A and B are shown apart, each in its own frame.
Chain A
Amino acid sequence: MSGGLVLTISILYLGLLFAIAQFVDKRADTNRPITRNPYIYTLSIAVYCTSWTFYGSVGLAANQGLDFLPIYLGPTLVFVLWSVIWVKIIRICKVHRITSIADFIASRYGKRAGLGGLVTIIAVVGTMPYISLQLKSIATSFRILVSSSETALLTAPSDPIFFIDTTLIVAVALALFAILFGTRHIDASEHHEGLVAAIAFESVVKLVAFLAVGFFVTYGLYNGFSDLFSKAQQKDLSGLFNVSTDGDYSLWMTMTLLSMAAIICLPRQFYITAVENPDESYLRKATWLFPLYLLVINIFVLPIALAGRLLFDGQTADADMFVLTVPLFHDQGILALIAFVGGLSAATSMVIVAAIALSTMVCNDLIMPLLLRWRVLNINKNDDLTGLLLTIRRVSILLVLILGYVYYLIASESYSLVTIGLVSFAAAAQFAPAIIGGIFWKGASYRGALTGLALGFAVWLYTLLLPSFAQSGWLPISFIENGPWNIALLKPYALFGMEGFDRLTHALFWSMLVNIGAYWLVSLISQQTAIERIQGTLFVDVFGHTDDEKDSRYWRGSATIADLQQLVGRFVGGPRVAEAFNGFAASRNINLRKSQTADATMLDFAEKMLAGAIGSATARVMMGSVVKGEIVGLDEVYRILDETSQVIEYSHRLEQKSAELEQATAQLRNANERLKELDSLKDHFLSMVSHELRTPLTSLRAFGEILVDNPDVPLEERKQFLNVIIKESRRLTRLIDQLLDLARMEAGQMDWSLDNVDVGAAVKEALAALEGLMKENEVQLDLDLPEALPKVRADRDQLMQVLINLVSNAIKFCDKTTGKIVVEVSTQDDVLLVSVSDNGRGVPEDVMSSIFEKFHQSAGTSENKPQGSGLGLAICREIVTFLGGEIWVANQPTGGAKFSFTVPRSDYLQTRLSAE
């Protein structure tokens, strides 16, 4: 077949794809696209079936029988769990506008660029073998088809076309196609309707092509399945009828696990299933239609493989190309061409989607964070960055394909398609712990994910990628056979002496052991930051949080609508953003003014829109540059979000409240008791006061009545009565004055004039005032007053009041016949001690404690009428206590009472104050 024809057909086919994409995109702009339905969605997920499926499965089946099946059973198992895993992932992607698997993981673990970068690097390196697989299959199939020689069917010629390696041409052509195709708009989260439609179309093409070859082989060359199988059995090919002949299923289980991880973790599968999902409910159809697609495309794998083996019996034919070579051998040129186009569609669909997914990751999670860090570039100030973004993406698409080509050159030539593909699967599987753990375990931390991924990736490099270089001669082969530096324990295919397993199982065991182990352990021992906790909660409880409130209240600062619009516009394009903002305003029934300050919901909307274009980690940084003020009250946000902590907080607050309440109750109880006490005191006081008032009043009235009733009372007697009346009135006045004083003191309303007072002078003055009284009672005074007494801090008048009260008391109670009073003043450490003693009867023991109470009178104990109001000592106590001293009474051994009080020395007070 002529190379020109095949080239033309290929170009026409790619052109058709382009036309479909363009047509659908055009329609999507005007109205709701007809392509948006669950069937298109399902077919787009079938991008899972690549050249690996189309060519490689047959190759594997031709050598190892049913071993190709787990690659398709694994995805089926995952889709059985759609309502547990996929719905959750898709909802998270929608809510957070996730653009890629790197974005997903970075976003889950606190929007940190470092993690996104690592995931991107793993994804790019891990996808390298996969892309080289596609390049190899396209190049090989092309060469087989254009060379007409018989031997070409057995070993594909590797003559260069136009003196350039065919594979390189294929790589460049695919890169150009992917660039043209995938980087037309910038907002990655907006669904690429055209792309999805084209991929779906490719899935139909490859299915039809494969089934056509299958039907031809099974019903054209043989009479159906039973004929084919029985012929194969006769030719001793029954070893291919089952999985394993020796009962070893470790590879089977490994491949099942790997493919389960791969259907979620392969960057392109994640992208097409989760990011490009237009409607969650489509999943309900896809969940059984996609496995059905897998089943149908696999029915003829074994028959084609058997037919190939029967056909090229004994010859060493490239089993990977049976789909092409079997029809060619039977001169079915058209069918071979259809098969070629099918293989081409399988390869291109994978390359396009993978390139777009990877370039988005490289741009958003690797390059942009670096560019933002290098302030030299002044990226914050550039006005329109959409061009820059597109350039980065285009260059990274080219880069990804060139890398794939490099891997092809280095390692692919000697391997079968499936072996190459499984290396990629094992790399993608490293993401599984971080993703699955991330959506079910809130406690998983950034450090855990980072350590797990890094270690798992390192082990993958060491046990799968490096040995493949060694086998191709790029590293010394002794690396595999003896281990590096001849250390047998480090042999990459038998790490730490673990032998007896196939390479894949061996690599998966070690990489998953360190990956999951580190992820788990480090998560447990490391602390989560607030934003990690928030993101963890948002991801794990995605259904709970999206139902009621949409805004996550991340931003609390202020930015104007115009600022936001400009920022997002730089990355997404001005008109598109204006449209989106208007749509947002309309949906919330508000008017947007440019100068208006954006609220939290608006900020959240802008951040998510930005995240759609440049990834969540970068979007966060960019938003931070515009939003002024505090970025987040993270702990606050977390408290709002996390229901458990909310409950804990409620109960905590309740506890606090009840404790407060208890305290208040106790205080109330105390206060109540004190009030009762005061009440009874008041009653007592009132009765005392009224009694005290009544006594002088009674005598006043009695004498007054006597004078009125007996006008003939002699003048002498009348004078005496009047004197009594005057004396009683004075007593009454004094009593009321004292009462008032006491009340004022107790209420703290007394006006004190504190000064440095000379106690000696005060004593002398007080005694002088009482001289008359002493003479009247014939009392002898003995004054012991040392020279040079220190001054005290006191109110002079009040101090004299105390002295007068005490001395007059002493006069009252001293011995009536030979009354003697001693007044002493002595200096002590910090106070002056003043004591007044008499030679009376002394104070009875039982009243010692209550003698300073109000209205305590030593009545009853004396045959004489009580003298005084009973307030004197109470006043003394009030004054002394106020001045900072003490007052007490003691009986002297020689008889008589001794009242003593202290007053603080002013010099002592000063030193104390200055010390403080």
Chain B
Amino acid sequence: MIRTGRKKEWSILLFVASLILFLPPVLKIFDRADLFFNIPLSYMYFFGVWALVILFTALGARRRMMEEDDRKSGKADSSSVGPRQEPS
């Protein structure tokens, strides 16, 4: 379990990793028209990595959601104003 204070650092790490994966030169390795199982490698690569990035983002946000829920269940009134502390 990752400590809660590190969320921001993790999201920056994920951002940098995605940048590396979506930009050349790494991109050049996978950006090929060859078919694998009749699907272009490039197409598979982009949608696959994209889905992974979304998955990791969701995981990062989900843990925060749970903490959030814990906090909210403690409060009687769940007002429309968001939590008043920095999510990090």
Q: Pick 28 A–B contacts, CB within 8 A, sort by A.
A: A66-B31, A77-B15, A77-B22, A80-B15, A80-B18, A82-B11, A82-B61, A83-B8, A83-B87, A84-B12, A90-B82, A226-B38, A230-B38, A233-B35, A242-B42, A243-B27, A245-B33, A280-B82, A280-B83, A280-B87, A281-B65, A281-B82, A284-B64, A287-B57, A287-B58, A295-B50, A298-B47, A302-B43
Q: Is B54 within 8 A of A66, CB to CB?
A: no
Is A513 engaged at the interface, CB distance under 8 Å to the other chain? no
Given the known A-B contacts A84-B12, A242-B32, are A291 and B50 also in contact in the complex, defined by CB atoms under 8 Å? Answer: yes
Q: Which residue of B lies closest to A229 (CB)?
A: B38
Given the known A-B contacts A76-B50, A249-B24, are A285 and B43 also in contact in the complex, defined by CB atoms under 8 Å? Answer: no
Q: Is B22 within 8 A of A73, CB to CB?
A: yes
Given the known A-B contacts A36-B80, A249-B23, A543-B85, are A79 and B43 also in contact in the complex, defined by CB atoms under 8 Å? Answer: no
Given the known A-B contacts A77-B22, A84-B8, are A238 and B15 also in contact in the complex, defined by CB atoms under 8 Å? Answer: no
Most buried by B among A80, A90, A253: A80
20 new A-B pairs (CB below 8 Å) besides A76-B18, A253-B24?
Answer: A32-B80, A80-B18, A80-B57, A82-B61, A84-B8, A90-B82, A94-B81, A227-B38, A230-B35, A238-B33, A239-B33, A243-B27, A243-B42, A249-B23, A281-B65, A284-B68, A287-B58, A298-B47, A299-B47, A546-B84
Most buried by B among A77, A242, A247, A256: A242
Number of residues of chain A lying within 8 A (CB) of chain B = 53
Q: Is B47 within 8 A of A226, CB to CB?
A: no
Is A279 engaged at the interface, CB distance under 8 Å to the other chain? yes
Q: Is B42 within 8 A of A288, CB to CB?
A: no
Is A650 engaged at the interface, CB distance under 8 Å to the other chain? no
Most buried by B among A32, A36, A83: A83
Enumerate chain B residues within 8 angstroms of A81, measured Cβ to Cβ.
11-12, 15
B residues with a Cβ closer than 8 A to A are 7-8, 11-12, 14-15, 18-19, 22-24, 27-28, 31-33, 35, 37-43, 46-47, 50-51, 53-55, 57-58, 61-62, 64-65, 68, 80-88
Q: Is B68 within 8 A of A80, CB to CB?
A: no
Given the known A-B contacts A81-B11, A229-B39, A256-B23, are A69 and B85 also in contact in the complex, defined by CB atoms under 8 Å? Answer: no
Q: Is B11 within 8 A of A256, CB to CB?
A: no
Q: Is B82 within 8 A of A69, CB to CB?
A: no
Is A23 engaged at the interface, CB distance under 8 Å to the other chain? no
Q: Is A225 within 8 A of B84, CB to CB?
A: no
CA of A563 to CA of B24 in the docked complex: distance in angstroms? 61
Enumerate chain A residues within 8 angstroms of B35, measured Cβ to Cβ.
229-230, 233, 241
Given the known A-B contacts A83-B7, A243-B27, A295-B50, are A287 and B38 also in contact in the complex, defined by CB atoms under 8 Å? Answer: no
Q: Is B54 within 8 A of A256, CB to CB?
A: no
Q: Is B53 within 8 A of A243, CB to CB?
A: no
CA of A897 to CA of B51 in the docked complex: distance in angstroms? 116
CA of A291 to CA of B31 in the docked complex: distance in angstroms? 21
CA of A200 to CA of B32 in the docked complex: distance in angstroms? 37
- Interface mask (A20-41 → B, CB under 8 Å = 1, otherwise 0): 0000000000001000100000
Q: Is A284 within 8 A of B12, CB to CB?
A: no
CA of A812 to CA of B5 in the docked complex: distance in angstroms? 99
CA of A87 to CA of B33 in the docked complex: distance in angstroms? 39
Q: Which of B31, B39, B42, B50 contacts A73 (CB 8 A)?
A: B50
Q: Which of A76, A241, A546, A547 contacts B54 (CB 8 A)?
A: A76
Q: Tell me how far the C-beta of B83 lies from the nearest C-beta in chain A, rounded to whole angstroms.
A: 6
Q: Which of A229, A280, A288, A546 contacts B61 (CB 8 A)?
A: A288
CA of A87 to CA of B8 in the docked complex: distance in angstroms? 11
Enumerate chain A residues within 8 angstroms of B64, measured Cβ to Cβ.
284
Q: Which residue of A lies closest to B84 (CB)?
A: A547
Q: Tell me how far the C-beta of A286 lies from the nearest C-beta in chain B, rounded to whole angstroms.
A: 9
CA of A536 to CA of B84 in the docked complex: distance in angstroms? 20
Enumerate chain A residues within 8 angstroms of B22, measured Cβ to Cβ.
70, 73, 77, 256
Is A292 engaged at the interface, CB distance under 8 Å to the other chain? yes
Enumerate chain A residues within 8 angstroms of B23, measured Cβ to Cβ.
249, 252-253, 256
Q: Is B31 within 8 A of A243, CB to CB?
A: yes
CA of A237 to CA of B33 in the docked complex: distance in angstroms? 10
Q: Which residue of A lies closest to B88 (CB)?
A: A83
Q: Tell me how far the C-beta of A275 lies from the nearest C-beta in chain B, rounded to whole angstroms.
A: 14
Q: How many pairs of A and B residues are in contact by the CB < 8 Å rule?
A: 136
CA of A256 to CA of B21 in the docked complex: distance in angstroms? 13
Q: Tell me how far the C-beta of B44 lies from the nearest C-beta in chain A, rounded to whole angstroms.
A: 10
Q: Which residue of B lies closest to A79 (CB)?
A: B57
Q: Tell me how far the C-beta of A208 lies from the nearest C-beta in chain B, rounded to whole angstroms.
A: 20
Given the known A-B contacts A83-B88, A84-B11, A242-B42, are A279 and B61 also in contact in the complex, defined by CB atoms under 8 Å? Answer: no
Q: Tell me how far the C-beta of B3 lies from the nearest C-beta in chain A, rounded to whole angstroms.
A: 15
Enumerate chain B residues within 8 angstroms of A239, measured Cβ to Cβ.
33
CA of A90 to CA of B82 in the docked complex: distance in angstroms? 10
Enumerate chain B residues within 8 angstroms of A543, measured Cβ to Cβ.
85-86
CA of A227 to CA of B38 in the docked complex: distance in angstroms? 7
Enumerate chain B residues within 8 angstroms of A288, measured Cβ to Cβ.
54-55, 57-58, 61
CA of A302 to CA of B47 in the docked complex: distance in angstroms? 12
CA of A84 to CA of B58 in the docked complex: distance in angstroms? 15
Q: Is A229 within 8 A of B54, CB to CB?
A: no
Q: Which residue of B lies closest to A244 (CB)?
A: B31
Q: Which residue of A lies closest to B32 (CB)?
A: A242
Given the known A-B contacts A226-B38, A241-B40, are A87 and B87 also in contact in the complex, defined by CB atoms under 8 Å? Answer: yes
Enumerate chain A residues within 8 angstroms of B18, measured Cβ to Cβ.
76-77, 80
Is A278 engaged at the interface, CB distance under 8 Å to the other chain? yes
Q: Is A226 within 8 A of B37, CB to CB?
A: yes
Given the known A-B contacts A76-B18, A284-B64, are A249 and B27 also in contact in the complex, defined by CB atoms under 8 Å? Answer: yes
Q: Is A547 within 8 A of B28, CB to CB?
A: no
CA of A77 to CA of B15 in the docked complex: distance in angstroms? 6
CA of A242 to CA of B35 in the docked complex: distance in angstroms? 11
Enumerate chain B residues within 8 angstroms of A80, measured Cβ to Cβ.
11, 14-15, 18, 53, 57
Enumerate chain A residues within 8 angstroms of B15, measured Cβ to Cβ.
77, 80-81
Which chain A residues (538-568) contact chain B, with CB distance < 8 Å?
A: 543, 546-547
Q: Tell me how far the C-beta of B35 lies from the nearest C-beta in chain A, rounded to whole angstroms.
A: 6
CA of A737 to CA of B9 in the docked complex: distance in angstroms? 92
Q: Tell me how far the C-beta of A95 lies from the nearest C-beta in chain B, rounded to whole angstroms.
A: 10
Q: Which residue of B lies closest to A288 (CB)?
A: B58
Given the known A-B contacts A279-B82, A547-B85, are A242 and B40 also in contact in the complex, defined by CB atoms under 8 Å? Answer: yes
Q: Which residue of B lies closest to A70 (CB)?
A: B22
CA of A546 to CA of B86 in the docked complex: distance in angstroms? 10
CA of A221 to CA of B81 in the docked complex: distance in angstroms? 50
CA of A73 to CA of B31 in the docked complex: distance in angstroms? 15
Q: Is A225 within 8 A of B42, CB to CB?
A: no
Q: Is B58 within 8 A of A229, CB to CB?
A: no
CA of A241 to CA of B40 in the docked complex: distance in angstroms? 6
CA of A860 to CA of B86 in the docked complex: distance in angstroms? 92
Enumerate chain A residues within 8 angstroms of B53, measured Cβ to Cβ.
76, 80, 291
Enumerate chain B residues within 8 angstroms of A243, measured Cβ to Cβ.
27, 31, 42
Enumerate chain A residues within 8 angstroms of B58, measured Cβ to Cβ.
287-288
Q: Which of A66, A70, A256 contacts B42 (CB 8 A)?
A: A66
Q: Which residue of B lies closest to A253 (CB)?
A: B23
Enumerate chain B residues within 8 angstroms of A284, measured Cβ to Cβ.
61-62, 64-65, 68, 87
CA of A36 to CA of B82 in the docked complex: distance in angstroms? 13
